[in-house]
Amino acid sequence: MKKTTSILVFFLFHCFITFSQNLVPNPSFENITQCPTVYGQIYLATPWFQPSIHYGNTTNSSSSDLFDTCSDYADFGIPYNSTGFQYAMNGGHGYAAIILHADTLNYREYLEVKLDSALKANKKYDVRFYVSLIYYTVSISNCGAYFSVDSLLDTTNLKGINYVTPQIENQSTNFLNDTANWMLVSGSFIASGGERFMTIGNFDLPSNTNVQNLNLYNGNIAYYFIDDVSVVYSPDNGVDDINNDENILIIPNPASDNLTVQLKTGPTTKTTLTINNILGEQVYTTPITTTSTEIDISSFAKGVYIFEVNTSKRVTRNKVTLQ
């Protein structure tokens, strides 16, 4: 009996570790092929690269920067370098740096990496990375992370990537203006499924970028060190972060035997209902063809479920308790 219990505990612990591991390879930019010697060498911190690059490849061309204590060139060392002074996070020896804003020009630098595994549909992921403002620049609040199935690689220019909406965004009122300490940019989101690439940067046009003038030096460039990037599966699957949609009524809630899903605007030809448990596992799915659909839930285990209504144009999620 004790042996069986021990095996079960080991299995559950192993599952927790598996789901909680950081999916970002080389998260602190410290596994490098050689020490940086010039600007624009983020590609030395494999598998990181810059998606918008100068000469059309990711192995020896970029403008995003890499710094490391191992550099024999003072400009690219840590903590002192040509752009400022900052220690690496957690006693490390490396970090990256990118320009997030450059005056009225649509010039941006980005960091992109292929995750160790693709994200799972309908599961929640916690995203964190740290930034530190380089002292001679203005500060901005626009900074986030975008997750995509395919890379955003563009070998034609260095213009801003403003045609996507990042799943993770720093709050617009939270100016990233600390030059002495590392500032956390974080958030959580429910994956659509299959996202394999993560891109960090500013995804807004210059006209939509919130700029704070620090009156330190002339110029209008927002340049930041980046370190300690993580993407981790969240066991609660986002239940606490999901608000019921006003266009969908699920009654009763809580429910025990049967419930009714009512759509105020009516279904489309491709409307479906999917029910996931708290682990993100699908337990039921059905097409919705009328404005009122009754569901038999008598066989479901008690607990919290996510009711997801998917149309051809949008996906809405509602939290429902079965008791």
pLDDT in tens, 25-57: 999 999 999 999 999 999 999 999 999 865 556
Given a cut of 60, is residue 12 above it in pLDDT?
no
Q: Is residue 4 part of a domain?
A: no
For position 17, which CATH number holds? 2.60.120.260
User: Looking at the structure, do residues 172 and 157 belong to the same domain, yes or no?
Assistant: yes
User: Does residue 41 share a domain with residue 105?
Assistant: yes
Count CA atoms within 13 Å of residue 148 on its CB side: 16
Contact 295, 251 (CB under 8 A): no
244 and 225 in one domain? no
- In the structure encoding, which two tokens stand for residue 57, read together? 């490849």
Same domain, 143 and 186: yes
Name the residue range of residue 196's domain. Answer: 12-233
Tell which of 198, 214, 233 closes a domain: 233
Indicate the residue type of 153: L
Is 2 a domain residue? no
Q: Rg (Cα) of the chain, in Å, rounded?
A: 23
Burial state string for 203-239 with b = 16 or more CB within 10 A and e = fewer than 16: bbebeebebeeeeeeeeebbbbbbbbbbbbbbeebbb
Q: Phi, psi (5° rounding) for residue 195?
A: -65, 125
Q: Does 124 have pLDDT greater than 80?
A: yes
Which of these three, 199, 233, 267, is where a domain ends? 233
pTM of the predicted structure, to 2 decimals: 0.69
Based on the structure, what is the number of domains in the chain? 2
Provide mean pLDDT across the span 166-172: 93
Per-residue pLDDT, 103: 79
Q: Are residues 143 and 253 in the same domain?
A: no
pLDDT band per the 50, 70, 90 thresholds, residue 99 = very high
pLDDT, one tens digit per residue, over 68-91 is: 999 988 889 999 998 889 999 989
pLDDT score recorded for residue 33: 96
Measured distance CA(160)–CA(206) in Å, rounded = 9
Categorize the per-residue pLDDT at 217 as very low, low, confident or very high, splitting at 50, 70 and 90.
low
Task: Residue 268: count other Cβ atoms within 10 Å of its Cβ.
Answer: 15
The CATH number given to whatever domain includes residue 290 is: 2.60.40.3080
Handedness of CA 301, 304, 307, 237 (dihedral sign): negative
The pLDDT value given to residue 16: 39
- Report for 27-31, 161-165, 311-315: range of highest mean pLDDT: 27-31
Maximum mean pLDDT: which of 43-47, 57-61, 298-302? 43-47
Nearest residue to 81 via CA among 27, 140, 134, 41: 134
Provide the pLDDT for residue 10.
Answer: 42
